[in-house]
Amino acid sequence: MQKLINNPADAVLECLQGYELAYPHLIRVHYDPHFVYRIDAPVQGKVSIISGSGSGHEPLNIGYVGRGMLDAACPGAIFTSPTPDQYLAALKKVYGGVGALYVVKNYTGGVLNTELAMEMAAEEGFQVASVLVNDDVAVEEKANRRGMGAAVLVEKIAGAAAEQGRDLDSIVQVARRASAQTRSMGVALSSCTSPSVGRPTFYLPESQMEVGVGIHGEPGRRREPLVHAAEVVNIVAQPIIEDLELKAGDMVLAMVSGLGSTPQQELFIVFRYLHQLLTQLGVRVERQLVGNYITSLDMAGCLITLLRLDPELLELWDAPVRTPALCW
Amino acid sequence: MSQEITLAQLRRWLLAFTDRIIQQELYLTELDAAIGDADHGTNMRRGMDKVRQRITDENAPCPDVSTLFRTVAMTLISSVGGAAGPLYGAFFLRAARGTNNGAKSITLLQLAQMFRHGLEGVQQRGKAQLDEKTMIDTIYPAVEALEQAAQAGKSVADALALAREAAEAGMKHTIVLQASKGRASYLGPRSIGHQDPGATSAYYLFETAAETLGQEQA
């Protein structure tokens, strides 16, 4: 294992400590239980937006804490959803008195721990709601779809709505719509190596790719010969386009996220072909993100995420945001 | 039938369970690497270290069976994360309901009832049924076997031996199943041919129960 870590067991803690030193003007870190919160929290009278996920997906979610996006993010152990007491402690720290929204990625652990946290929060008199992110078209059965790139987009849109001072119901509504309008699919050219395991989770021979991967190092839905970038984009984007039923005249937000160890060069090549493919269909790429936004440690490959935009979602996307990983 | 299982014995069982998980950390993680995200051993170990600390803490002793199980549940929920934390938490939390508050010992029938409540807790929390390639595939047949043996008047040792056998068969049955719950479900048919890591860690519950509670009663 070739990694710049000390002890695998300390990787998450030391990452958070470095993170706090890197962004002292934007965030603070609370330890034991671990969560990252925006420097001016709690913002009174504003609905709090809280998210969480296993570590190893950076900048998700700790990179999205700040004005216009998340009030707090709870990092779990590597690839392991955080515990209910992390969610509850974060809620208490950032609660502005008018409700909180948890953004939940659809994984068994993520859902179960948030459910427990919400039960505990409700018992203590907090007003909480959740929005589920389940955008992965690689999983055919809709109820089972994993949460992937949509997490970034839904957190941004919900965060903007909260910053405008909207009430919890209205934020839940717009966040659910953004989630429902988003689809993703991933492709891996290598496995990642989880520090505690010390070797790749799966072995991918030269000239093969895993199609339909998630973000936890698990293999994908199927293995295929690796083809040219243009063809990979077709293989990954077509199921998204079909599932979203995109047609000429639609406008989308397109995100190409590297999974951790893919050079930007390749991500821009992928984006170029994605843009071409959508343009040929008459779909307008109105906004885009190309880079590492949701990753899987050092996995090679990318996720393609498309969000069908409407004027309200576009306005919320464009609203100012000031976080370590997204800023405009 | 009237053999009692004492609080001290239950505590020894739970310590044996934590030891077994800690010994098998790498094996559980390897099983998880095949069809999941390679963290089941690490997660369970983190929880077991905390459980061990908590239930051997002389400054905060667990005075009765119900408190012991609740303590284990809350420790797992707040230290494991992932799906395993809430699911094992649900097992022990619900199991605690199967006994009277303040009880210092339980009968075999009560143990079977506690496990039945625990199973129901896991099923409700995880919304999983038999044959979905999860820990249910181990716990369900083991609880059935334990109940039948308890009702038939078998000794604690014989009943737990039967529960252990049923748990093992259930765990091994997960090899041929296609996962429809949990992270392995994302692999679709590729999940077939691998033993489920959650079913495996759950097997250790019954294996260590047979070894500790069973033997001491034999």
**pLDDT, tens digit (0-9, with 9 covering 90-100), for B125-183:** 999 999 999 999 999 999 999 999 999 999 999 999 999 999 999 999 999 999 999 88
ipTM comes to 0.89
Q: What is the pLDDT of residue A196?
A: 83
pLDDT at A102: 98
- What does pLDDT average to over chain A? 96
Contact A319, A67 (CB under 8 A): no
Q: Which residues of A have a catalytic role annotated?
A: 57, 216
pTM of the model: 0.94
Average pLDDT over every residue of A264-269: 98
All domains of chain A in start order, with CATH = 10-181+317-327 (3.40.50.10440), 182-310 (3.30.1180.20)
Beta bridge partners of A185: A304
Q: From the CA of A133, how many Å to the nearest CA of chain B?
A: 15
Q: Can you give the pLDDT at residue A108?
A: 92
pLDDT at B218 over 50: no
Question: Given this model, what pLDDT does residue B62 score?
Answer: 93
- Please give the mean pLDDT across all residues of chain B: 94
Q: Is the pLDDT of residue A218 over 90?
A: no
CA distance B11 to B118: 17
| CB-CB neighbours of B56 under 10 Å | 11
CB A269 within 8 A of CB A302: no
Chains A, B: CB pairs < 8 Å:
106
| The A222-225 sheet, strands edge to edge | A222-225, A208-211, A182-188, A301-308, A251-258, A284-291
Interface check for B86 against chain A (CB to CB < 8 A): the answer is: yes
* B214 reaches A (C-beta below 8 A): no
Nearest CA in chain B to A109: B83
The structural domains of chain B, ordered by start, are 4-214 (1.25.40.340)
CB contact under 8 A, A80 and B78: no
What's the pLDDT tens digit per position in A55-77?
999 999 999 999 999 999 999 99
Weakest-pLDDT range from A14-18, A150-154, B58-62: B58-62
Does position A261 have pLDDT exceeding 70, yes or no? yes
* pLDDT attached to residue B1: 45
For residue B80, the chain A residues in CB contact (below 8 A) are 80, 83
What pLDDT sits at residue B2? 53
Mark yes or no for CB contact B36/A216 under 8 Å. yes
Q: What SS3 class is residue A151?
A: helix
Give residue A220's pLDDT band: very low, low, confident or very high (50, 70, 90).
confident
The answer to whether residue B74 neighbours chain A at the CB level (below 8 Å) is no
